[in-house]
Amino acid sequence: MMGCKPMADDKVDLAKHRQLFYAQARWALFELGASAEILNKYKPIQKKDTHTLPNISQPNGQGHRNENIPWFWGMNIHGDSIESFHMEELYCVNYLWAKARQDRWLEEFKLVPWEMHWTMLYFQHWAEMWDGLGRETTPRKGCYARRQVGMWRAFQTQALADFQRSGAI
């Protein structure tokens, strides 16, 4: 059995052959003077586009939530992907991942201004607490308390400036 190749190697060879065939067809389009619109539609296939899709091969894997599928999976040439169960599943999985990503961003969009507000209140609370403690204690402890009040007010001022510079407030 020396010389037998695993079936996976045949599929890799077939994929490389198809990629080469595609590159030649794209080159022919360019040589025939195809419009920029057509050349932009049929982009070159990069090495990064040819990996196994992790959201299909590792549906519960970590670190893939922000990855998009390569551009050519979205092409429906002559309706060839309408009847394919696997393509439909790919589109559904990709849609759900994109929807989850959008929902996370919408949640962040709502939460971040509140978190900034809570941060400002937190700094204000500690400044007021140390201010109250400074009035009730000995002069030596009061000096430390005033330093703490200054520090927490500086945090609050710096946070407000940073938040305003970011455009969130």
pLDDT per residue over 34-68, tens digit each? 888 888 777 777 777 766 666 666 666 666 666 66
Quick one: CA torsion of 13, 19, 24, 30, rounded to 10 degrees?
-170
**Residue 140: predicted pLDDT:** 85
* Banded model confidence at residue 1, pLDDT cuts 50, 70, 90: very low
What 3-state DSSP class applies to 45? coil
**Reported pTM:** 0.50
Q: At what angle do helices 139-166 and 85-136 cross, to 10 degrees?
A: 150
Contact yes or no for 111/117 (Cβ under 8 A): no
Res. 25: pLDDT tops 90: no
Buried b (16+ CB within 10 A) or exposed e, 71-87: eeeeeeeeeebeeeeee
**Structure token pair of residue 34:** 């195809």
Provide, rounded to the nearest whole percent, the portion of the chain with pLDDT above 70: 70
Average pLDDT, the chain: 80
pLDDT per residue over 53-109, tens digit each? 666 666 666 666 666 666 666 666 666 666 677 777 777 777 888 898 899 999 998
Provide, rounded to the nearest whole percent, the portion of the chain with pLDDT above 90: 30
